């Protein structure tokens, strides 16, 4: 495995452990398959976006030929992927954390 794959697996594992802890311990319900798959996809999206942004900003010598003038659109695209991944991950966890807060207020 290369570095980006290892990082993606670690980020994915951390997000999934947090998700299952929220669901199984906090809500005592079954996990949603779509949310779990979305966390897997967003974690790999986050890692790929960071790596792509890093390459576009700091390793400019890799952009030669037709890619020479495409650094800015690539950076913007990497930022967009990162934004969507973080936003979706935040929504998943905030829904479950808001559920915990509403249960605590009722008690």
In 18-84, beta strands by DSSP E: none
Residues 6+ apart with CB under 8 A from 60: 71
By residue range, what is the domain housing residue 98? 3-106
**pLDDT in the model for residue 95:** 82
Taking the C-alpha atoms of 88, 92, 94 and 99 in order, what is their torsion angle to the nearest 10 degrees?
160
User: What's the DSSP call for residue 65?
Assistant: G
pTM to 2 decimal places: 0.76
> Rounded to an integer, what distance in angstroms lies between the CA atom of residue 62 and that of residue 103?
53
Domain total for the chain? 1
Q: What is the pLDDT of residue 103?
A: 59
- How far apart, in whole angstroms, are the C-alpha atoms of residue 80 and residue 74? 10
pLDDT band at 72 (very low <50, low <70, confident <90, very high): very high
Q: Residue 91 has which token pair? A: 């929504």
Number of Cβ within 10 Å of residue 92's Cβ equals 21
CA 37 to chain centre: 11
User: 85: pLDDT confidence band, cut at 50, 70 and 90?
Assistant: very high
């Amino acid at each position: 495995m290369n570095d980006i794959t290892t990082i993606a697996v670690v980020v994915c594992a951390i997000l999934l452990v947090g998700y299952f802890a929220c669901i199984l311990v906090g809500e005592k319900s079954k996990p949603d398959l779509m949310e779990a798959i979305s966390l897997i996809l967003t974690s790999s999206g986050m890692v790929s976006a960071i790596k792509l942004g890093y390459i576009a900003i700091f390793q400019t010598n890799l952009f030669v030929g037709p890619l020479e003038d495409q650094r800015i659109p690539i950076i913007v695209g990497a930022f967009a992927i990162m934004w969507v991944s973080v936003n979706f991950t935040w929504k998943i966890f905030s829904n479950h954390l808001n559920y915990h807060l509403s249960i605590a207020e009722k008690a």
